[in-house]
Structure 1
Amino acid sequence: MKIVFALWVSLLIIGFTGQVLADDAANNYALVSSDGRAAVATVNPYATQIAIDVITRGGNALDAAIAAAFALGVVDGHNSGIGGGCFILVRMADGRILAIDGREMAPAAATRDMFVVDGKADPELSRTGALAAGIPGSVAALDKLQKLGGNLKFRDVILPAADLAEKGFSISPALAERIAATKDNLAKFPASAAIYLDKNNKPFPAFSSLQQKDLAATYRAIAKQGPDYFYRGDFAKKTGRWMAANGGLITHKDFANYQVKMRKPIVSEFAGYTLYGFPPPSSGGVHVAQILNILAQFDLDKLAPAERYHLIAEAMKFAFADRAHWLGDSDFTRVPMSLADKRYAQTIAQKISLEKTTADIAHGNPDVDIQHLMNKHTTHIAAADMDGNWVAITSTVNTSFGSKVVIPGTGVVLNNQMDDFSAQVGAANAFGLVGSDANAIAARKRPLSSMSPTLVFKNGEPVMALGAAGGPTIISQVVQTLLYALNDSMPVEKAMAQPRIHQQWNPNLLFVEAAMPIDIQHALQKKGHDLKIWPTMGASQAIQLRDGKLVPVAEPRVILQNAQ
């Protein structure tokens, strides 16, 4: 299928394969090491460069990915950092494929109705302030990855980011925009305002320098003392004291009780490839597999562009309806793995007409903040080396700057991942997603996520690592990149540049990028889709093994935004 995509995207594809876009090193979002034996792609050039530098010092893909994750906590702290959580999918050089769950955890004092006021969920409580945060898992998960197969020591991959935080960096347009958009909530917390706002509580503009000396000190303490500093030492104690003084539930004991979980990856097949995805509490692995299984029931190559987009949208709608009902932390609720079974996909495919939309089975469409839905929250890191290590890490603090809380003296932004629970059955979170009791709040439970780190294999060997940022659009981005790259044999940079759509069942809208040709938009409307045109959506990163070489690919939409 040939799809016309916008000129602004196609012009940027040159250079998204590890080549330098310009002489300025700040343009290097996706890089290959000088010897060609390793590659990294991230959402920020500072993080990518630090990761490559780690490779040159003898590190492998695991070391590089960890270094990038800590660096992103400095330069991309509105999306991710050590105050949040992550999912790590890794293929080790010895052939093991592991899923490391570093998702945030609800505090021991959390209760089912903690955000319900006068019989109704209060979204502000789960999104801003002390109650919004879960126990961060990223430090523990990254340390686990390091111990599993890194060549370097944990301190070696942390300290470069500490140096960056102390010296400072130039604020990107994307970061400046996010600071400006959240300045009122950041101003509520003095330690947050001290970092991101000036003395008059005005947001720092793009290209001004941002230094984070407290965060640098925290990184150095972790480098010296290990994760114990974070989970049992001064950081945990400072956080516990702040929470007690500000109406929070988290205690230093909650930090000490945090545990990384080793999960069994979701395995599926599509277009002759084997896919490994992340299991619950991620919904990504299940529903990426489910959507692709549904698509595989149709002769995709014979469909006109509008028919194919229609089919993708319908498959997404069925998958997200299942997500709302069935998905949650599998340690607390039974999640039917048959959702990712081809036989189940066949039953759904029988309900889909290529001529019109399927009647919506939703039981209501709560109001949703569309801007929240499409913002590029979260971040993804792809790293690989020719020794056979492949890493896909998706990391997040949830919405922009998470809870907006920085614990004084630490520089660490705490997540607002409690909003990813179902505060009340049928109540939408910041991304418009609804859930059932399967994702209800409970002590020490992990909230449902859309993060979808994915590894792709051909004939038993890894050929791709990918993932995305963008709330629930993570799932739809990964699905579409895989569809175009695997079924249509597009190079990943071209697959990633195709106009994207997103349908999450609730709200019952088909989000369509403005780059989609008008005639296809009109054809989709005729089939019954209620279109919401959006400039761009999402931010993906990937590495593809092509012609025996590692090809890293960074999101063209992000590079364009930061170049403006």
Structure 2
Amino acid sequence: MKKTILVLLLCVLPLFCYAEYPVTGHAQVSGDGKVAAASVNPDATTIAMNVVKRGGNAVDAAIAIAFALGVVDPHNSGIGGGCFILVRLADGRVIAIDGREMAPAAAHRDMFVQDGKANPELSRTGALAIGVPGSVLALHKLQREGGKLNFSDVILPAAELAEKGFAVSPLVADRMVSTAKELQKFPATAAIYLDKSQQPFAANTIITNQDLAHTYRELARLGPDYFYRGDFARKTAEWMKKNNGLVTRDDFANYQIKLREPIVSQFAGYTLYGFPPPSSGGIHVAQILNILENFDLHKTTSSERYHLMAEAMKFAFADRAHWLGDSDFVKVPLSLTDKTYAKKIARQIQLDKAVNNAVHGDPDLDIPHLMNKHTTHIAAADLEGNWVAITSTINTTFGSKVVIPGTGVVMNNQMDDFSAQAGAANAFGLVGSDANAIAAKKRPLSSMSPTIVFKDNQPVMTLGAAGGPTIISQVVQNLLYTLEFNMPAEIAIKQPRIHEQWSPDLLFVEPTMHEQVRNALVQKGHEVKLWPNMGFSQIIQLRDGKLVPVAEPRVIK
């Protein structure tokens, strides 16, 4: 009763309010307390803990989760997609592994333009939507750099799960329903994710993916060569040729991971490591926090604080649209994270009024795509000093909707993350410029934001999120509440979230935000739109020498 009264008071008073989400089973600590992991699915996290019992560390646990999620959470991620990996290893090294998908060599700037206008269907469904996947090579690199076990040790548990059967989670069942008509177009996909009547499976139905189990076992036996130079590449290239796709065996053979320099910034006495381009996450998480530190947030009301966050996001996403792209192809100004630049932006922000923006999004924009949860984040840490943040994706729900026959692997539709045409919105409503135009062997811009936080040169938190462009805003808010306001991660993650991405110029808010606060934001000039929830975060925090893993409580049970 006292707790309920306290929560109500916090809502009424201009401080903080959080929703009473149920505790999830997706965050676990090993029996000896030395390793922690958090993911979107309890089966995947349990597999990670079993790997730890066999002598694995946080690196092994994170990789095991990644392969398991390809089985039980196939609409979000898997080896048919890409990932960004940020890891602080026990020896003190911080490595950023870019496993982002790559455009095929035959890709060209106007490949999705028909009759002078970008055709979004071509970049989102079917063969042309698919980029060369990078997750397998990136996870293998991570294993070699910091894992204790063999690569096969972290793959085979997921192969066994796919082979013996797994329950369709309510979340996956929901996504099957929303994409059933598209899944029906591809026989190999429908054979796995639809029943004999071509209808989606009900939640908790036990299904198998025998082809994926075989693919995993071959990966365990032969390593990445099976995927990039062997049978998987051959099967994919043959299917592409029959279906007017562009990806070839040479594209697979020529794929390379990239080791990037992390984006390093300072906030509230902490040092933040973020992921650099082709991620926009590291730059804009730092930029937004830099803008916010120009205001005394402890003296603001809830509505003022949310307003300031929204305005900072607005300016950052405007910069994203103009400047960001694959830094191997375009010059991305790292001065975007400069604190002097942030002060210049902060001077344009008023506490009582939203900045008018003359540039609006496409009026034909499909708003429901904006915050659908495509992508997943994995957090893992151990007391030896390994801290892992992996954000993995196949882009939109079930990616391109294509499963390459005989592989069981859902292929990405990452080509939609390019700017098919300057000013044209992608599936998430994000617009871009020539910096993110399609080019052969280029990597599309991403919002994935794996982040590791340090205090006095020691790691104290790893975090990231899923949810398209809301990844950036989720990570910002989680960092703001934990670092600036000293909230425990399990409280910070429950705070009502907002998201503003400049185009469309709307302020998305969760319904758990108090109505009084929402009304105040409207009075300041924001066009407020309620959204059920703003994505899924995973956090691990070091507190009092103990690892505290926190999984997203908003996940559909």
Q: Specify if TM > 0.5.
A: yes
Question: What's the offset of the Cα at 1:535?
Answer: 1.6
Q: 2:474 aligns with which of 461, 473, 477?
A: 477
Is the counterpart of residue 3 in structure 1 residue 11 in structure 2? no
Q: Which amino acid aligns with 1:153?
A: N
Partners in 1 of 2:368 and 2:186 — Cα distance? 23
Question: What's the offset of the Cα at 1:201?
Answer: 0.7
Question: What's the offset of the Cα at 1:5?
Answer: 2.4
Contact preservation (8 Å) 1:84, 1:397:
yes
Question: What's the offset of the Cα at 1:369?
Answer: 1.8
Q: 1:202 aligns with which of 190, 199, 212?
A: 199
Is the counterpart of residue 45 in structure 1 residue 42 in structure 2? yes
Is the counterpart of residue 437 in structure 1 residue 434 in structure 2? yes
Question: What's the offset of the Cα at 1:364?
Answer: 4.7
Unaligned runs of 5+ in 1: 16-26
Partners in 1 of 2:137 and 2:207 — Cα distance? 27
Kindly report which structure 2 residues correspond to 1:257-336, keeping only aligned pairs within 5 A, or say none: 257-336=254-333
Secondary structure of residue in 2 paired with 1:540: strand
Kindly report which structure 2 residues correspond to 1:366-515, keeping only aligned pairs within 5 A, or say none: 366-515=363-512
Partners in 1 of 2:108 and 2:164 — Cα distance? 42
Match of 1:70 in 2: 67
Partners in 2 of 1:426 and 1:84 — Cα distance? 25
Secondary structure of residue in 2 paired with 1:556: coil
Contact preservation (8 Å) 1:132, 1:416:
yes
Partners in 2 of 1:375 and 1:525 — Cα distance? 24
Contact preservation (8 Å) 2:214, 2:407:
yes
Q: Which amino acid aligns with 1:108?
A: A
Is the counterpart of residue 149 in structure 1 residue 146 in structure 2? yes
Partners in 2 of 1:514 and 1:360 — Cα distance? 25
Q: Which amino acid aligns with 2:215?
A: T
Is the counterpart of residue 553 in structure 1 residue 542 in structure 2? no
Contact preservation (8 Å) 1:473, 1:538:
yes
How far does the alpha carbon of each residue in 1:3-52 deviate from its partner, in whole angstroms, 9 at most, with x for none?
A: 1223x33xx2xx5xxxxxxxxxxx52000000000000000001100011
Match of 1:28 in 2: 25
Partners in 2 of 1:119 and 1:493 — Cα distance? 49
Secondary structure of residue in 2 paired with 1:374: coil
Match of 2:166 in 1: 169
Partners in 2 of 1:93 and 1:279 — Cα distance? 22
Kindly report which structure 2 residues correspond to 1:62-211, keeping only aligned pairs within 5 A, or say none: 62-211=59-208
Contact preservation (8 Å) 2:173, 2:202:
yes
How far does the alpha carbon of each residue in 1:473-532 deviate from its partner, in whole angstroms, 9 at most, with x for none?
A: 000000000000000000001001000000000000000000000000000000000000
How far does the alpha carbon of each residue in 1:104-160 deviate from its partner, in whole angstroms, 9 at most, with x for none?
A: 000000000000000000000000000001000000000000011110000000000
Partners in 1 of 2:197 and 2:173 — Cα distance? 16
Match of 1:22 in 2: none
Contact preservation (8 Å) 1:509, 1:532:
yes
Partners in 2 of 1:553 and 1:370 — Cα distance? 29
Q: Which amino acid aligns with 1:4?
A: C
Secondary structure of residue in 1 paired with 2:548: strand
Match of 2:538 in 1: 541
Secondary structure of residue in 2 paired with 1:497: coil
How far does the alpha carbon of each residue in 1:227-252 deviate from its partner, in whole angstroms, 9 at most, with x for none?
A: 00000000000000000000100001
How far does the alpha carbon of each residue in 1:188-240 deviate from its partner, in whole angstroms, 9 at most, with x for none?
A: 00000000111111111101011000000000000000000000000000000
Partners in 2 of 1:210 and 1:289 — Cα distance? 42
Question: What's the offset of the Cα at 1:57?
Answer: 0.5
TM-score for both structures, normalised by structure 2: 0.97
Question: What's the offset of the Cα at 1:355?
Answer: 0.8
The alignment-based identity, stated in percent, is 71
Contact preservation (8 Å) 1:5, 1:517:
no
Aligned length: 544
Contact preservation (8 Å) 1:367, 1:432:
no
Secondary structure of residue in 1 paired with 2:493: helix
C-alpha root-mean-square deviation of aligned residues, in Å? 0.8
Go from structure 1 to structure 2 and tell me whether the alpha carbon gap of 1:280 and 1:361 turns closer, same or farther (over 3 Å shift): farther
Partners in 2 of 1:51 and 1:447 — Cα distance? 30
Secondary structure of residue in 2 paired with 1:532: strand
Partners in 2 of 1:194 and 1:509 — Cα distance? 40
Partners in 2 of 1:75 and 1:371 — Cα distance? 24
Partners in 2 of 1:243 and 1:95 — Cα distance? 43
Secondary structure of residue in 2 paired with 1:498: coil
Match of 1:239 in 2: 236
Partners in 1 of 2:497 and 2:160 — Cα distance? 38
Secondary structure of residue in 1 paired with 2:461: strand
Match of 2:3 in 1: none
Partners in 2 of 1:5 and 1:156 — Cα distance? 40
Partners in 2 of 1:119 and 1:379 — Cα distance? 35
Question: What's the offset of the Cα at 1:363?
Answer: 5.5
Unaligned runs of 5+ in 2: 1-13
Partners in 2 of 1:125 and 1:484 — Cα distance? 41
Contact preservation (8 Å) 2:465, 2:471:
yes
Partners in 1 of 2:15 and 2:156 — Cα distance? 47
Secondary structure of residue in 2 paired with 1:100: strand
Match of 1:532 in 2: 529
Contact preservation (8 Å) 2:233, 2:249:
yes
Partners in 2 of 1:347 and 1:34 — Cα distance? 50
Q: 2:245 aligns with which of 230, 248, 257?
A: 248
Secondary structure of residue in 2 paired with 1:557: coil
Q: Which amino acid aligns with 2:266?
A: E
